Amino acid sequence: MKDISVKQFLQDVKSGNIDLNDFFSGVIEKCEVIQEKYDAFITLLEKLQAPRSKGKLYGLPLSVKDNICTKNIQTTAGSKILEGYIPPFDATAIDRTRNEGAVIIGKTVMDEFGFGTFSVNSTYGIPKNPLDLDRTCGGSSGGASCLTSAADFPHVALAESTGGSISCPAAFTGTVGLTPTYGLVSRWGLIDYANSLDKIGCIGKNVYDIALLLSAIAGNDSHDSTSLSVPKQDYTKYLTKDVKGMKIGIPKEYFEGVNENISKIIWAAIKKLEDEGATYKEVSLPHTQYALPSYYIIAVSEASTNLAKYAGMRYGLHMALQGNFDEYFSTVRSNGFGEEAKRRIILGTFARMAGYRDAYYLKALKVRTKVIEDFKKTFKKFDVLAAPTMPVVAPRFDEIEKLSPIEVYMMDILTVAPNLAGIPMISVPAGEVNGLPIGLHLMGDHLEEKKILQVSHAFTKT
Ligand code: GLN
């Protein structure tokens, strides 16, 4: 089995040049090897379902982050509390990819409920970076980026971002990650972390692959009341244009505290785009410094209410009924949730408590509005914004162990603002520092996926 591009593979399958049964057995074998080496999966399927249709993704292997519900396939969101949960239904994004003929190969590792930046907060193994086994693949969609980077067969990954969980793992593994506009892809069947922030998106080896996957999953869904009324479209059609005349804004706050070698690579990327006909100018997004605390207050507040339903009654972990209900709930929850989930339940409950709500939660919402206004103003003058995706290269696990929870939260400093604003963003590989990949982050205005796809494609093509 040769490693061919997704585009080539789909053409070959269509014209009958690939025997799908042989191909799938090869894929399973390869995934077993990848699992052995890197721990990308929570569930790796032993038998694959035949494609539902001969649609636009006919026969294409698809991996799914484990917080997206898949019918008859265990879905844990990386948490012990959901061990053994088998959804009786497919999330809308899954249904749509299956309708186009995609074939699910497994569920990928993630930080518990998405709580993390390095995929070390999972009950089901820690994915190792295929480029250096001592380093993280990023998080929380670490299994998705791990598999995408390791796979030597055509494959795309469904992932999810609340505050950076697609961009970060893409940057750390040299893959491409797209977080769509909030509401463009239905959240129906996505296990909630923070409802006002969660977005299903894509990780792939190149821009074409994610544009293709986005075309399958985007568009209005009556099951999700926050889903936007936008028609389906083919996003690959935006990949033919160059960047001539595109106006690129460079937010200066996004270079503060960033490793100097990383900044150099991003500036080289900007110059390359200029050489290809784009113009650029530095801009200021003055509320950027408040985005991180605001994000964490909103995210943990929503998370703590979402996690209330895991009480050993309806979903997942059940235990022997002993003592009164309060005692039962606390036994189940103490056993089922990991340390970071517990920390966020406590923080979120505090931020929403009577007497503190105005000082924390409501203030954070006001800051969020300011962050959105910064972006809206800037996009009146620019087509896209360009910045580094992460302030550091993928850290080693022994470095991660030494970080305090706050230091881990600080790693999200460049990704939380666009996630708070719900604007679309793509991380593409821009170069390397000491052999480790660096991500260029391209951000666009709401529903301007086409512009970031156009620029990222033009950038990565040459
Ligand atoms: N690292 C961020 C957090 O822990 C983002 C996670 C995500 O996007 N799911 O909240």
What per-residue confidence (pLDDT) applies to 422?
98
Residue 71 lies in a domain: yes
Atom of ligand 1 minimally distant from the CA of 419: 8
Residue 452 lies in a domain: no
Residue 409 lies in a domain: no
Separation CA 285–CA 281 (nearest Å)? 13
Active-site residue flag, 215: no
Active-site option among 63, 122, 140, 294: 140
Q: Which of 117, 172, 182, 300 to mutate to test the pocket of ligand 1 (most atoms within 8 A of CB)?
A: 117
Atom of ligand 1 minimally distant from the CA of 296: 10
> What tokens appear for 425 in the block?
């963003």
Residue 13 lies in a domain: yes
What per-residue confidence (pLDDT) applies to 462?
61
Closest among 124, 147, 119 to 37, alpha carbons compared? 147
Residue 383 lies in a domain: no
Residue 388 lies in a domain: no
Domain span including residue 60: 6-240
pTM score, two decimals?
Answer: 0.98
Q: How many other C-beta atoms lie within 10 A of the C-beta of residue 201?
A: 32
What per-residue confidence (pLDDT) applies to 205?
98
Active-site residue flag, 330: no
What per-residue confidence (pLDDT) applies to 405?
96
DSSP states along 36-53: HHH--EEEE-SSPPPPS-
What per-residue confidence (pLDDT) applies to 171?
98
Between CA 54 and CA 60, with CA 56 as vertex, the angle to 5 degrees is: 80
User: 258 Cβ partners below 8 Å, 6+ apart?
Assistant: 388, 391, 414
Residue 226 lies in a domain: yes
What per-residue confidence (pLDDT) applies to 162?
98
Contact 447, 401 (CB under 8 A): no
Active-site residue flag, 294: no
**Residue spans of beta strands (DSSP E) within 162-278:** 176-179, 199-204, 247-251
Residue 460 lies in a domain: no
Distance in Å, CA 163 to ligand 1 centroid: 5
Active-site option among 30, 56, 65, 199: 65
Between CA 294 and CA 302, with CA 300 as vertex, the angle to 5 degrees is: 100
| Domain harbouring 69, CATH code | 3.90.1300.10
- How many domains would you assign to the chain? 1
Contact 440, 386 (CB under 8 A): yes
Distance in Å, CA 193 to ligand 1 centroid: 9
Residues lower than pLDDT 50 in the chain = none
